[in-house]
Amino acid sequence: MKSIFFKDEPSSRAEPGQFLMVWIPGVDEIPMSISYIAEDGVTAVSVRKVGPATDALFSRNAGQSIGVRGPYGRGFSLVKQGRALLVAGGAGGAPLGPLSDILAENGRNFTAIIGAHVKDELLFLERNRVIAQKVGGKVIPATEDGGYGVKGLASEVAEVELGKDNYDIIYTCGPEPMIKRILSLSLQHLIPIQASLERIIKCGIGICGSCIVDSLRVCREGPVFDGEILKNLEDLGTVRRDHSGRRVPL
C-alpha cells in the first residue's frame, strides 16, 4: 500500500467514508476512498497494485499530476456518544482511517480490528495505535497466516471481541463476505452497524449503474449503508456486477 498526498480544498471538506474519482493522465479514472483528511487542504488516497490504473497511480512521484473529482457518496454518520468497534479487512482500512481520526478528536473510545492476509498488508496499524491510545482505546491486528497479531479473519476476532466487551456502534469496510458476517454479529448483539461497500464504480454520479447492489447505487446511496438497509440486500456477499454490467458471483 502507498498513500498519495495532494492539496484539494473540496476533498479536504469530505466526510469519512466518501470517495474520489482519481484520474491518472493517459491511463484511466478510478474510484478511491479518501484515507486522510486534513484542515490545511491536504488529502490522501491509499492505493494497492491490482491492475494497470493502480499500478500507474502507485508509480506516481512527487510533482507529477493526477486529477480528482468529488468527494462523492454518503459517508459514515457519527453517533453522538458511546464506544465504537471498527473492523477493517485489507484495503478496507482506508475509509476507516479518517473515521478513527475524528473519533479520537471527539474523545470517543474505540477498538480497531485490522485484518489482512499477512503482516505487510495491515493498513494504518501504527496510525490507529497512536490515536487509540489518546482515548483509552485499543488496536487488535489479525493475520490469516498467523504471522502477526491474532491468527484468523477480522470477522472471527470481532466475534470474540463482541462476546466479551460492550460496544454501541460498529463501523466496517472490507471484503463483502466479511461485512456480511459482521452484519450478522451486529444483529445478534443488537448493535447498530454502518458498512462501506466496495463495488465497480465508473461514473461516480449515479448514471452508469455499474455499482448497483440490489436496486441501490453504491456511488449515490452509499458507499456507506446502515444495518437497516444492509440486512435486506440480497446481493450482499453473493453477487456483483462486472465491468460489462453482468451479474457475477463474488
Question: 240 in helix, strand or coil?
Answer: strand
User: C-alpha cell of 20?
Assistant: 474520489
113 forms beta bridges with 87, 140
**2-72 CATH:** 2.40.30.10
CA dist 195 and 236 (Å) reads: 11
Domain 84-249 top-level CATH class: alpha beta
Distances (CA, A) of 202 to 43, 117, 143, 178, 211: 22, 28, 32, 24, 8
**Residue 168: predicted pLDDT:** 95
pTM listed for this prediction: 0.94
| CA 55, 58, 61, 64 torsion-angle sign | positive
Cα–Cα distances (Å) from 199 to 66, 146, 193, 214, in that order, read 22, 29, 19, 12
- Kindly list the averaged pLDDT for each block of 10 residues, start to end, along the chain of length 250: 91 95 94 90 90 91 92 92 94 94 93 95 93 94 95 96 95 96 97 96 92 94 97 93 86
Query: What are the extents of the domains in the chain?
Result: 2-72, 84-249
- Residue ranges of alpha helices (H) inside 4-69 are 9-12, 52-58
- Among 21, 23, 24, residue whose Cα is nearest residue 10: 21
**Closest-CA residue to 33 (of 227, 220, 223, 212):** 223
DSSP string computed for 184-222: HHHHHHT--EEEE-----SSSSSSS-TTEETTEETTTT-
Count of Cβ atoms closer than 10 Å to residue 126 Cβ: 9
What is the pLDDT, as a whole number, of residue 49?
85
Residue 37, beta-bridge partner list: 43
The conformation of residue 79, written as its DSSP 8-state character, comes to P
